[in-house]
Copies of this chain bind each other. A is one copy, B any other.
Amino acid sequence: MLNKKIAILGAGPSGLAQIRAFEAARLAGKKNLPEIICYEKQADLGGMWNYTWRTGLDKNGEPVHGSMYRYLWSNGPKECLEFADYTFDEHFGRAIPSYPPRAVLKDYIMGRIDEEAVSKYIRFECPVRWVEYDKESELFTVTVMNHKTGQQETDTFDYVVVATGHFSTPNMPYFKGLENFPGRVLHAHDFRDALEFKDKDVLMIGSSYSAEDIASQCYKYGAKSITISYRSQPIGYEWPEGIEERPLVTHFEGNTAHFSDGTSKAYDGVMMCTGYLFHFPFLPDDLRLQTHNCLYPEHLYKGIVFQQNPKLIYLGMHDQYFTFNKLDLQAWYARDIMLGDIELPNAEERLADMKVWQDRHQALDGSDDQNIEFQGDYMLDLLAATDYPEFPIKKQGELFKQWLRDKDEDIMGFRERTYASTITNTMATELPKPWLEIKDDSLESFMSLDFVEVTVD
């Protein structure tokens, strides 16, 4: 029998985890591994972590994937996203702080990717154009645009793994009067450099991670004032002077925003931190996941296997506390399904399993503590089934809870806190000065700081 053929769509942390999972099997001596082709829209690895100065459309005319900006630092402790098969100690050879900037985390993610695997499997600048499934042959046909050659390529596959992320297509609501706002109106997806808003009055709409982090950035880099406008509830931290929260905008008149509490204020710029859409323009209806950002998207058995067509795998579609290590667990599980090492239950059984999780998901009270435990339990479920190295998921969950308390205590200072690795027990080092004072976020600059060893007493 011929080896199976697998298409991985996207080479971000999820797609790379899928490649790594198969590589791990190969190194473990597994035979008859499938042939893999990974199609990546960008010119390089790393997905969201691959910073780009571009906005809108990229050099090939494709929608820009990157939503990350300059000066972005990890918003959660690195100890909560550590790969179980490749620790921070192994990568950096010394202890570093708990909240590194983007470039440092990217360096870590890239560290475990073998150069050879990259050139063997990944086709860069190849956005997927269209996917079809043929019931008779039981094969997928994948068509990509190879921008390097200017020609399209079409190939057939037994399995398709969709790992294209879901934080790239802005959800951009309209507010009356926006079309006449005499200044910049953008979505967080297009935000790149906080210095653009130095000495400016900026309005952010939305009250989740993006609003919180971009408000903090703009404050750090000298915005005159920042207003965060919330729909459901304020973020609620003790913001420094210069950041305030107001209820939802009702409309704009010229450069003035009116809020639902009757107040108003003039702004230089408006930024929508209103989240992202699930968007798969390359998938026909019968293969397309239709869901929203939550902790247990529908239609996915074990959070990854598409119910209507179980030869279609989706990775990384959950909203997140846990990130890299959760993606690893999904990729290992997906690998074992594709290898036949985990037997796939029939449709009814899969539905029953999904229902159990959906019911639990529905019953959550919305508190972070419950959410974190729920996502941890989901991961434990996956971990039990594969040979991914065991790691203390519950302990990491406790760190997440601590992280939230730390943010509550000091939203501008939480990135100065340190935690111990749950895998190596290495204690993170401290930043030598306050986060607000460290403005160069490059890898070189960060790694040349004099990190301070924490003395536990």
Task: Please list the residues of chain A having a beta carbon within 8 angstroms of any beta carbon in chain B.
Answer: 51-59, 61-64, 127, 129-130, 143, 145, 150-152, 169-170, 172-174, 178-179, 181-187, 189-190, 192-193, 195-196, 277, 279, 281, 284-285, 290
Residues of B within 8 A of A51 (CB): 179
* Chain B residue nearest to A268 in the complex (CB): B196
Residues of B within 8 A of A192 (CB): 184-185
Closest CB-CB distance, A269 to chain B, in whole Å? 8
B184 near A196 with CB under 8 A, answer yes
Residues of B within 8 A of A277 (CB): 61
Extra contacts, 11 of them, besides A56-B57, A63-B63 (Cβ < 8 A), are A53-B185, A54-B172, A55-B56, A56-B186, A57-B169, A57-B170, A57-B172, A129-B130, A181-B193, A184-B184, A184-B196
Q: How far is the CA of A174 from the CA of B193 in the complex (A)?
A: 17
B186 near A55 with CB under 8 A, answer yes
A182 near B170 with CB under 8 A, answer no
B285 near A152 with CB under 8 A, answer yes
Residues of B within 8 A of A145 (CB): 281
B189 near A284 with CB under 8 A, answer no
* Chain B residue nearest to A170 in the complex (CB): B57
A284 near B143 with CB under 8 A, answer yes
Residues of B within 8 A of A285 (CB): 151-152
Closest CB-CB distance, A270 to chain B, in whole Å? 10
Closest CB-CB distance, A392 to chain B, in whole Å? 38
A284 near B152 with CB under 8 A, answer yes
Residues of B within 8 A of A182 (CB): 193, 195-196
* Chain B residue nearest to A221 in the complex (CB): B182
Beyond A193-B183, A281-B129, whether A174 also contacts B59 by CB under 8 A is yes
8 chain-A/chain-B pairs, Cβ below 8 angstroms: A55-B190, A56-B189, A57-B63, A129-B130, A152-B285, A182-B195, A182-B196, A184-B196
Q: Which of A143, A179, A187, A279 gathers most chain B CB within 10 Å? A: A179
* Chain B residue nearest to A169 in the complex (CB): B61
Residues of B within 8 A of A189 (CB): 56-57
Beyond A56-B55, A56-B187, A190-B56, whether A61 also contacts B170 by CB under 8 A is yes
Q: How far is the CA of A178 from the CA of B189 in the complex (A)?
A: 18
Q: Which of B129, B181, B279 contacts A53 (CB 8 A)?
A: B181
Closest CB-CB distance, A334 to chain B, in whole Å? 26
Residues of B within 8 A of A56 (CB): 55-57, 63-64, 170, 186-187, 189-190
Q: Which of B195, B281, B290 contacts A183 (CB 8 A)?
A: B195
A196 near B170 with CB under 8 A, answer no
Closest CB-CB distance, A195 to chain B, in whole Å? 4
Q: How far is the CA of A187 from the CA of B151 in the complex (A)?
A: 26
Closest 3 interchain pairs by CB? A61-B169, A182-B195, A53-B179
